[in-house]
Structure 1
Amino acid sequence: MSDAGMTSTLQGNIARLTDRAARDRAAAPWSARLADRITRFTGSMTFVSLHLIVYGLWIVANLGWLPGVPRFDPTFVILASEASVEAIFLSTFVLISQNRMAAIADRRADLDLHINLLAEHELTRLATLVARIAERVGVAVDDPAFHEIQRDVAPEQVLDVIDAHSAATAAGSTVDRAGA
């Protein structure tokens, strides 16, 4: 163990994953990087402060409260139009960033699944090895739970059962709502 109680393997994994994330960010198309930058800025207090100042001055000027400043948008139609167009673009940038983040999350979920399946397979093999060792040294392994962990999990069957339960739950809640 070294820094902060972490093993060198864990520290190496952190370094490799951090490097990979940096390479992925650098390899992203410029449009995605731009959308991410805009989204980061628009989600900041600086952006909020700038809008408070600009919109505040716009409103104060067009209410006629600033002496010497002519009212250039007395009905606030231009302000409303500008805010609407800005909202359209900002929501598009946010969606682009969210789509990218969702793709990254999907890749991480796939990696987690593969690692978990590999670990499950390795543990199943270890359980089989332990059973053989127990048999060789004359220790009986009669626990049904132990024999159960010696079987590999079929992920596609697990997904089928999850889907069936989800469908049954959804059908049940549809019936509940219809009867209510």
Structure 2
Amino acid sequence: MAQVVERNIQALLQRQQAEEKQKTWQDRTADAVTKFTGSMTFVLIHLVLFTGWILWNVGWLGLKPFDPSLVILAMEASVEAIFLSTFVLISQNRMAALADKRADLNLQVSLLSEHEITRLVILVREIARKMDVQEAQDPEIPELAQDVHPERVLDTIEKFQQKAEQGQQGQ
């Protein structure tokens, strides 16, 4: 594997480890709860507890019911769902923030690559001109030699999206 690839992998791993160390106890707790609740162990524990609760309270185990209408079970399940969904949302919000950072990094690298490629096109055109090599009659070459302006690209994307949305509304 190329040295630069290994260097990049190590840099990314070091960054992930640093971000992991910077997590607050709240983030660590939310992640741990989310990880556990997303496991089969959690499902099996609940299956056993709920089944036992129901069997006890419908009288199938021969024990005196403590929740014959299963209202307490329903309330516990509802409260648990509220807390679990909150933990999941906390973890998802943090993960979304990390995804936004990565998307920004990808955009910056892509813009840098685009700039470098544009400079290479200009350099190759100059070399070809100095060597008196005929330029190919490709109409895209002059366009490729121009810098890409991300704000113009975003404006164009938004225009096309608006046209598509207007077209959908008109149908």
TM-score, normalization: structure 1?
A: 0.92
Q: Which amino acid aligns with 1:172?
A: G
The CA deviation at 1:172 is 1.5
Count of matched residue pairs: 170
The CA deviation at 1:139 is 0.3
What is the alpha-carbon distance in structure 1 between the residues aligned to residue 49 and residue 17 of structure 2? 36
Determine helix, strand or coil for the equivalent of 2:67. coil
Which shifted more, 94-103 or 141-150? 141-150
| Corresponding residue of 1:138 | 132
**Unaligned regions of 5+ residues in structure 2, if any?**
none
What is the alpha-carbon distance in structure 2 between the residues aligned to residue 63 and residue 19 of structure 1? 56
| Corresponding residue of 1:25 | 20
**Unaligned regions of 5+ residues in structure 1, if any?**
1-5
RMSD after superposition? 0.9
Identity of aligned residues (%): 51
| Corresponding residue of 2:161 | 166
What is the alpha-carbon distance in structure 2 between the residues aligned to residue 15 and residue 76 of structure 1? 54
What is the alpha-carbon distance in structure 1 between the residues aligned to residue 59 and residue 28 of structure 2? 42
TM-score, normalization: structure 2?
A: 0.96
What is the alpha-carbon distance in structure 1 between the residues aligned to residue 132 and residue 163 of structure 2? 47
What is the alpha-carbon distance in structure 2 between the residues aligned to residue 60 and residue 54 of structure 1? 10
Listed as ranges, the matches of 1:100-179 within 5 Å are 100-141=94-135, 142-176=137-171
Determine helix, strand or coil for the equivalent of 2:69. coil
What is the alpha-carbon distance in structure 2 between the residues aligned to residue 172 and residue 33 of structure 1? 46
